[in-house]
Chains A and B, each alone.
Chain A
Amino acid sequence: MTRPERGATAPRTWRKPPFIANPWLRYGAWLLLAGYLVWAFGTLPFNWERIGEGLPRAARIFGGGFPPSFQRADLLLTGFKESFQIAILATLLGVLLSIPFAVMAAKNIVPRPVYLVGRAVIIVSRSFHPVIVAILFVAAVGFGPLAGILTLTVYSIGFVGKLLAEEIEEIDWGQVEAMRATGAGYLATLFYAVFPQILPRQVGLSMYQLDSNLRASAVVGIVGAGGIGGTLMNAFGRYDYDFAFAILLIIIAVILVSEGISGWVRKKIW
């Protein structure tokens, strides 16, 4: 019925419907964005003169960085050794502590008040960037590796705990029922029906966390929490740009290697 008419009228057109259907809202959002950009660039204090002066300085720093100097290899080694120690210790501590907190934060296996406490711990330890936590711990326990270990432990609890709790909430409940049916107590049920089910995930997360902690240990060192970050900061402070550059290169190399290893291990375990 419509077929013969189609040839007579103009060819039909089609356009993708807009993402935001309401035109007022659609153009309003663009207007808002433009307004914000004008306001932000207008009010933030960009001092173009100083930026102009800074550029040659940046060029000097990079120029001074070449060629990188590996002459003080012992210092480099000490710094990295400390970073590794911090990262590995913090991963061990964090991964171990994350298990009880993950159990507490899993809705299906604990009463509601415990769940709320567990979730709160995880939310709090996830809400601050490691650098901010590091500043707090440096203030609390002084400069050095202890602050770094505590920082990264908190960081690990938050990350691993959250993902592990979600894993616990998705376990096969039949196994828990089976253990309960034998008369097993709460902890025995946990060890038999819950932990075996989350074990591969836990190992994978631990590997990932080790990798992540290694990276973060370099950063928290900058605010005084020990490790290679501190060495880097000192090198910059003493205008040893070639040494600083060497440190940066090694950091990149270490991260690449650790990422490769952890990726390989995780793939093996899955």
Chain B
Amino acid sequence: MLEISKLVKRYGRDEPVLKELDLTVEGSSVVSIVGASGAGKSTMLRCINRLVEPTSGSIRLNGTELVALKGAALRRARRKIGMVFQGFNLIDRLTVMENVLAGRLGYVNLYQAISRRYPREDIERAFTLMERVGIAHYANKRADALSGGERQRVGVVRALMQEPEVLLADEPTASLDPRTSEQIMILLQSLASELSLPVLINIHNVAQARTYTERIVGLRHGKMIFDGAPDDFTRDALDAIYGGIESPEEEPVAPANPPPAQRDRGLPHDAT
């Protein structure tokens, strides 16, 4: 169970990107988080595995408080949180198998990692998962030789290698063509039920959110303004989440997704 309560994230002195956000995800439900760019979706997801440092609040995963963790304890907690990225974030120059095994980096020691001598169970697990998503025949191919959809499958398998207790997907389909992105959504949906794993998906495509997830959470300006089943996600809810974003009388939109440069600068020293 993932419990987020009163989560606040503020970059510098700007208006907070997340304003006392509360969210609880139980069981193996697939939750999609929708909202305009800058609503705080990505920041929220990244606060959970602490790629972004929360300003205040609490995030508990199966009873473990994540916000206060440091060093080795943080790394141990991160092993239980799989993440799938919009840009896949594979190690392009390494093989698919190496990328998949990288999901075990939190478990193996440095020598095993560098010499690629992963435990036999890990390799077995890697093959099983790769077969499950249909990329096993690419094991020794370089990751950058694959197509977008295949690359995202590698990303998903890498996350699953961690034996996660929750899976975070940050716009996993935004870089893919419509058909491929539907396949990835179906994959995430079925993996969630097979592995009884809660999945949080940031997504722009509202139609896909309604089709492939059981619960939709709508964010706007760092606050949750919708939480319900896809059937309850009406026209009004959609307008409330996306409507009037560009209208001039709106208060200036806080930069919830900071420009990449800013995010990069903030991270390196606090994360590990």
Contact = CB atoms under 8 A, between A and B. Distances in A.
| 7 closest residue pairs by CB, A with B | A183-B106, A184-B105, A183-B79, A178-B89, A183-B78, A174-B89, A196-B93
A177 B75 contact: no
Nearest to A107: B268
B114 to A, nearest CB: 5
Given A183-B105, A188-B113, A177 B272 contact: no
Nearest to B46: A177
Given A108-B264, A176-B268, 4 more contacts: A108-B265, A183-B79, A192-B94, A196-B93
15 contacts: A110-B268, A177-B85, A179-B105, A180-B78, A180-B272, A181-B81, A182-B162, A183-B107, A185-B75, A185-B105, A186-B272, A188-B105, A188-B114, A192-B98, A193-B91
Contacts of B77: 183
Contacts of A175: 89-92
Nearest to A184: B105
A62 interface: no
Given A177-B89, A188-B113, A191-B114, A183 B264 contact: no
A181 B102 contact: no
A187 interface: yes
B195 interface: no
Interface string B47-76: 001010000000000000000000000011
Contact of B94 (A180, A181, A185, A196): A196
Contacts of B161: 182
Interface in B153-179: 155, 158-159, 161-162
B137 interface: no
B222 interface: no
A175, A179, A186, A187 — most chain B CB neighbours (10 Å): A175
A197 B155 CA distance: 18
Nearest to B264: A173
Contacts of A181: 49, 51, 78, 81-83
B16 interface: no
Nearest to A177: B51
Chain B, interface size: which category? 35 or more
Chain A, interface size: which category? 20 to 34
Contacts of A174: 85, 87, 89
Interface in A70-110: 108-110
A112 B269 CA distance: 9
Contacts of A176: 268
Interface in B30-52: 49, 51
A182 B93 contact: no
Contact of B93 (A187, A189, A191, A199): A199
B85 A192 contact: no
A111 interface: yes
Nearest to A200: B93
Nearest to A191: B114
A180 B87 CA distance: 15
Contacts of A183: 75-79, 105-107, 162
Contacts of B159: 182
A31 to B, nearest CB: 46
B271 interface: yes
Given A180-B51, A181-B51, A182-B79, A188 B94 contact: no
Interface string A194-208: 001101000000000
A168 to B, nearest CB: 11
A205 B232 CA distance: 60
B260 A189 contact: no
B267 interface: yes
Nearest to B108: A188
Interface string B128-170: 0000000000000000000000000001001101100000000
B106 A182 contact: yes
B186 to A, nearest CB: 23
A184 B106 contact: yes
B77, B79, B91 — most chain A CB neighbours (10 Å): B91
A188 B110 contact: yes
A184 B114 CA distance: 12
A233 B161 CA distance: 64
